[in-house]
Amino acid sequence: MKRRRLLQVTAATLGGACAEAAQAAPSAAKVLRVALPTAETGFDPAQINSDGNSILLIAQILEAPLTYDYLARPARLLPCTAAALPEMTGDGRVFTLRIRPGIYFADDPAFKGVRRELVAEDYVFSLKRFFDPQYNSGDLYNYSSVKILGLGELRDKAIRDKTPFDYDTPVAGARALDRYTLRIELGIADPRFIYRLAEPGGLGAVAREVVDHYGKDVQAHPVGTGAFRLKTWRRGSRIVLERSSTFRGAVFAGTPAPEPLAQDIAASLAGKRLPLVDEIVFDVVEEDQPRWLSFLDGTYAWLPVPGRYVSLAAPHGELAPYLVKKGIRLQRSLQPDMVMTYFYMDDPLVGGYGAEKVALRRAIGLAFDVPAFIRHIFGGQAVPAQSTLTPFTSGYDPAYKSEMGDFDPDRARALLDVHGYLDRNGDGWREQPDGRPLVLRLACTASQSDRLSNEIWQRSMQRVGLRIQFEVSNWPDLLKRTRAGSLMMWGYSWAAASPDGGPMLGIAYGPNAAESNDARFDLPAFNALFERQLSMPDGPGRDAVMRQAKNMLVAYMPYKTLVHRIRSDLVQPWTRNYWRHPFMRDYFRFIDVDPT
């Protein structure tokens, strides 16, 4: 799962198989420009804490063993740096794969002039880094939850003895059997762990020499085997990637879906070596209007339409005539994501498991005007979310209906009245049952979108007599504060990184507290359901267990789920091969532009 933060990503997901042999740069440089609506965190998988923008950037530089077939629907895995899909034991505990010889990292001073080949030990090192206490990785849960043999104990020893993490101690769960053969062994069965092997923002290969050379500054020095390398970085402003001269080239190989667009893209890619552009410029443009105007003037190759501009771009779901005349194309797709607000369960006001605390959270959820949120923030391009599970993942049921999708101020007021949240002094605002003031605090950024969202929150809470204040900060600082447990409430999105819905339940799994579980929800009955579904095969049995878990989250409401988004992407006529993939992030090598 790629956390939170894919609400902030404007680039779409595309993909395909990795490339094979080097390509000479064309005579006229091709530059692709895209906009990101929030700042990146950095370029180190162990430290980015599932920040969607950073994952998108890293995915163009670092490579995981596997990838997705960009044109195939439903999603299908392909080898990337691996020679083939991994061998997996029948119960889903042991994964063995062979890394292809002849893949090289980009040239870098860390290698002291030596051409550095990718080997199996690089993936062992990259996996161990998530367990190194010095990084305090927010993505550790992705690997600790499946109890990779020996790694948890190695981490515990470093913490207990207050010594550096010992990368040189072999562990049974992550081993290089030889120069090119990697074996990962889990402590529990998880047949869907294979999807983790397709996440460059997780298991993107990092060389030990690079970490040793740059030390604490490794966030600013990503060195990978991917199609692009970092050229320049102005933090929170502009990131420029350039074609890597050491990248192996390739001719696209994939299986296009029957849709005409997929067939056209397959024909366009046929016989071409990758990547197709020489440089990618990412501009951080936080406000909707500048992004919109810059797209209209031809600056950016594509644009997910900001909600407030949907009526201008695609009234009634059809591309506006003035955009048709420009040759701009419209692509619409339901996303495997979930926008939500969490309640910090250790907060003395909104946290806790007692009846009155549950009632307060449920009342807040029922009072929030989701229909207005969809209209004003997303321009109608979203559907109410009934649970934390997202479309296109296991466990998601489009027919499932819960209180999460309800907007019912009358029920909210009744819940508050019954549980003693009354206006005792007649000032129009409710107090806590013991008479103390009741003031909600919601964290947010200063963006136009968040300001509009805050207006909806203000009106919604005022309607039922709840006072709310807003804590404004920037995105990276809010990530730090949420990990420190200093926010009462905050909202963002989660986007599924694979067809497995399990990680979207993992955001409420107790042991994931301070990692994916920002709410710090910890209920033994829910934890047991989560652990049970982990090892079950996909099918009706697992779906039933996941449904019980969904129901429990509705009842306790540590998260108020809001919507699943519908993306309306506008694509410039000179942009080639753009098609949104539900899960893949390592896709820019397939995009082409016509410089004329």
Decide: helix, strand or coil at residue 86.
Answer: coil
Type of residue found at 502: G
Q: Note whether 392 and 407 are same-domain residues.
A: yes
Q: Note whether 540 and 563 are same-domain residues.
A: yes
Domain that holds residue 362: 337-567
Q: What is the pLDDT of residues 423-432, one digit of tens each?
A: 999 999 999 9
Q: Domain count of the chain?
A: 2
Better pLDDT: 519 or 249:
519
Considering only CA atoms, which of 10, 7, 113, 122 is closest in space to residue 62?
122
Torsion angle (degrees, nearest 10) of CA 360, 361, 364, 368: -160
Residue 111 lies in a domain: yes
Better pLDDT: 63 or 38:
63
Decide: helix, strand or coil at residue 480.
Answer: helix
Q: What is the pLDDT of residues 53-107, one digit of tens each?
A: 999 999 999 999 999 999 999 999 999 999 999 999 978 999 999 999 999 999 9
Residue 304 lies in a domain: no
Q: What is the pLDDT of residues 104-161, one digit of tens each?
A: 999 999 999 999 999 999 999 999 999 999 999 988 988 998 999 999 999 999 999 9
pLDDT at position 248, please?
93
CB 74 within 8 A of CB 391: no
Q: Note whether 233 and 347 are same-domain residues.
A: no
Q: Note whether 401 and 426 are same-domain residues.
A: yes
CATH number of domain containing 159: 3.40.190.10
pLDDT at position 19, please?
42
First-to-last C-alpha distance (Å) of the chain: 39
Q: Note whether 138 and 259 are same-domain residues.
A: yes
Give the pLDDT mean for 267-278. Answer: 94
- Whether the per-residue pLDDT at 21 is higher than 90: the answer is no
Long-range contacts of 314-319 (CB under 8 A, 24+ apart): 314/568
Q: Note whether 552 and 585 are same-domain residues.
A: no
pLDDT at position 401, please?
97
Mean pLDDT of all residues in the chain?
93
Q: Taking the CB of residue 401, how many other CB atoms lie within 10 A of it?
A: 12
pLDDT at position 14, please?
32
- Whether the per-residue pLDDT at 254 is higher than 90: the answer is no
Q: pLDDT band at 17, cuts 50/70/90? A: very low
pLDDT at position 95, please?
98
pLDDT at position 516, please?
87
pLDDT at position 27, please?
57
Residue 173 lies in a domain: yes
Where do we find the tokens 């163009």? 60
pTM confidence score: 0.85
CATH number of domain containing 513: 3.10.105.10
Q: What is the pLDDT of residues 301-319, one digit of tens each?
A: 999 999 889 999 999 889 9
Rounded to whole angstroms, how far apart are CA atoms 52 and 49?
9
Q: Note whether 252 and 367 are same-domain residues.
A: no
Residue 251 lies in a domain: yes
Q: Note whether 534 and 583 are same-domain residues.
A: no
- Whether the per-residue pLDDT at 7 is higher than 60: the answer is no
Residue 135 lies in a domain: yes
Residue 50 lies in a domain: yes
Q: Note whether 551 and 450 are same-domain residues.
A: yes
Q: Note whether 147 and 278 are same-domain residues.
A: yes
CA atoms within 13 A on the CB side of 46: 22
pLDDT at position 24, please?
42
Considering only CA atoms, which of 3, 6, 7, 1 is closest in space to residue 49?
3
Decide: helix, strand or coil at residue 97.
Answer: strand
Q: Note whether 231 and 365 are same-domain residues.
A: no
Rounded to whole angstroms, how far apart are CA atoms 553 and 386?
10
Residue 237 lies in a domain: yes
pLDDT at position 515, please?
81
Q: Note whether 260 and 161 are same-domain residues.
A: yes
Rounded to whole angstroms, how far apart are CA atoms 74 and 257?
8
Considering only CA atoms, which of 15, 60, 81 is closest in space to residue 228?
60
